[in-house]
């Protein structure tokens, strides 16, 4: 890796392609000057407790310093600085945020695609993330009445959700935790994760979860996936043929057939376990958390933390996203 070349590539991006005003879709600019920012410098050193008077001052900083990573934090009563670090200031608010990373699906990813190694991603396993986005987004809108929700590609193997409705801004840690609890379908991590007792989930949310998961898990399902799940060869063939016949459209009829097959081999919960959202709840409840700045560059991949269009989110493939680094190395 050539450091000065990397620096030039970042400078070129922040000078010519980055539009600081896009940030206003994610954060409220009226409190811009008292918001915390954090960065990884060219030396690799991480620093935070930084604030800027205006969005343009932030852009000037990015062009001048070319940080390899840029992050946004909470809003305080005064501008954070080295002299006035955040722990000396009064916390005023932070958007409600969600972090979903494909790493948290490593134990179940092998059932949906042929990726080998944690570094690999394909359109098939990325659907695990897309199902989570779809379910959480719909639930926040319908069950919580939130409307200003933005989803971003993290630049590597995950996504971030930002909710900037004013009612979310000053939610405390416990209130954020209770939203996470509402959205929790599986308890535990990795192979030990289990579907919660259904009575713990609100009826509407449970029905939506099941429908969303069955709909999208069947979309590109292969015969071998169904057989591995425990379905008989003939049941698996029937589903795949019906799907082909319907040109990939998953309708109620197909979902009913799948449900019946799953019930007969006692694998209903297994499908939910594989596909249910795996939200990093620590990120949501940490009020002082720094999260990657929208439209900034991910320092490892050179990819942009871009805003996702939910209408076509199921076609988004992280591997197809261009890198601004010309000498990017493929991770193992």
User: Does residue 131 interact with Zn ion by CB under 5 A?
Assistant: no
Min dist CB 318 to Zn ion, Å, is 10
Q: How far is the CB of 229 from Zn ion (least distance, A)?
A: 17
**Cβ(151)–Cβ(135) under 8 Å?**
no
Between 7 and 110, name the residue whose CB sits nearer to Zn ion.
Answer: 110
Query: Three-state SS for 296?
Result: coil
Q: How far is the CB of 121 from Zn ion (least distance, A)?
A: 6
What's the CA gap between 112 and 109, in Å, rounded?
Answer: 6
Q: How far is the CB of 206 from Zn ion (least distance, A)?
A: 28
Number of residues this chain uses to bind Zn ion (CB under 5 A): 5
**DSSP per-residue string spanning 195-255:** EPPGGGS-HHHHHHHHHHHHHHHHHT--HHHHHHHT--HHHHHHHHHHHHHTTT---HHHH
Cβ neighbors of 18 (< 8 A, separation 6 or more) are 59, 62, 295, 296
- Rounded CA-CA distance 162/23 in Å is 11
Report if residue 102 touches Zn ion, rule: CB under 5 A.
no
The residue among 108 and 125 lying less far from Zn ion, judged by its C-beta, is 125
Min separation Cβ 157 and Zn ion, Å: 10
Of 47-55, 124-132, 173-181, 205-213, the window that binds Zn ion (rule: CB under 5 A) is 124-132
Q: Which stretch binds Zn ion (CB under 5 A): 63-71, 125-133, 143-151, 279-287?
A: 125-133
Q: Does 125 help bind Zn ion (rule: CB under 5 A)? A: yes
Closest CA to 297 of 3, 5, 10, 2: 10
Question: Based on CB atoms, which residue is closest to Zn ion, 106 or 270?
Answer: 106
- Nearer to Zn ion among residue 33 and residue 321 (C-beta): 321
Element (H, E) at 106: helix 106-109
CB of 122 to Zn ion, least distance (A): 3
* β-pair type (186-187, 96-101): unpaired
To the nearest whole angstrom, how small is the minimum distance from the Cβ of residue 110 to Zn ion? 9
Q: Which is nearer to Zn ion, 62 or 128 (by Cβ)?
A: 128
Q: How many CB atoms lie within 10 A of CB 185?
A: 24
Task: Give strand ranges (E) for 55-155.
Answer: 69-76, 91-93, 96-101, 149-153
Pair 214, 263: CB distance under 8 Å: no
Least separation in angstroms between residue 47's CB and Zn ion is: 35
CA 220 to mean position of chain CA atoms:
21
146 near Zn ion (CB under 5 A): no
Distance CA 127, CA 150 (A): 18
Q: Does 113 bind Zn ion (CB under 5 A)?
A: yes
Q: Which is nearer to Zn ion, 86 or 128 (CB)?
A: 128
Cβ proximity to Zn ion: between 80 and 318 the closer is 318
Among 122, 180, 283, 287, interactor with Zn ion by CB under 5 A: 122
Residue with tokens 């979310």: 168
Identify the residue among 107, 115, 255, 287 touching Zn ion (CB under 5 A): 115
The dihedral region occupied by 80, where left means phi > 0, alpha psi between -120 and 50, and beta the remainder, is: beta
- Please tell me the number of Cα atoms within 13 Å of 149 on its side-chain side: 20
Instruction: Give me the least distance between CB of 124 and Zn ion, in Å please.
Output: 5
Contact segment (CB under 5 A) with Zn ion among 86-94, 111-119, 127-135, 323-331 equals 111-119
299 or 318: CB nearest Zn ion: 318
In this complex, which beta carbon is closest to Zn ion, that of residue 128 or of residue 201?
Answer: 128
State the residues that interact with Zn ion by CB under 5 A.
113, 115, 122, 124-125
């Amino acid at each position: 890796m050539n450091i000065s070349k990397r620096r030039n590539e970042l400078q070129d991006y922040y000078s010519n392609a980055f539009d600081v005003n896009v940030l206003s879709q994610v954060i409220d600019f009226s409190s811009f000057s008292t918001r915390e920012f954090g960065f990884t410098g060219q030396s690799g050193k991480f620093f935070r407790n930084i604030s800027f008077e205006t969005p343009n001052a932030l852009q000037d900083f990015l062009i001048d310093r070319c940080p390899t990573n840029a992050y946004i934090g909470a809003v305080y009563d005064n501008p954070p600085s080295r002299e006035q670090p955040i722990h000396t200031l009064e916390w005023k608010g932070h958007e409600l945020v969600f972090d979903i990373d494909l790493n948290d699906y490593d134990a179940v990813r092998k059932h949906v695609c042929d990726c080998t190694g944690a570094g690999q991603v394909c359109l098939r396993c990325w659907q695990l993330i897309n199902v989570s986005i779809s379910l959480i987004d719909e639930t926040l809108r319908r069950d919580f009445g939130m409307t200003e929700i933005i989803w971003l590609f993290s630049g590597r193997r995950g996504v971030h959700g930002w909710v900037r409705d004013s009612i979310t801004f000053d939610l405390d840690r416990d209130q954020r935790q209770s939203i996470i609890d509402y959205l929790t379908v599986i308890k535990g991590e990795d192979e030990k994760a289990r579907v919660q007792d259904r009575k713990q989930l609100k009826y509407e949310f449970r029905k939506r979860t099941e429908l969303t998961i069955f709909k999208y898990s069947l979309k590109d399902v292969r015969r071998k996936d169904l057989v591995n799940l425990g379905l008989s060869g003939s049941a698996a063939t029937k589903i795949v043929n019906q799907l082909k016949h319907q040109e990939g459209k998953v309708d109620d009829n197909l979902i009913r057939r799948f449900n019946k097959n799953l019930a007969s081999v006692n694998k209903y919960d297994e499908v939910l376990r594989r596909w249910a959202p795996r939200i990093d709840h620590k990120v949501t409840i940490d009020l002082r958390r720094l999260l990657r700045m929208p439209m900034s560059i991910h320092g490892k991949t050179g990819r942009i933390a871009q805003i996702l269009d939910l209408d076509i989110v199921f076609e988004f493939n992280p591997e197809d996203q261009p890198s601004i680094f010309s000498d990017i190395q493929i991770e193992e």
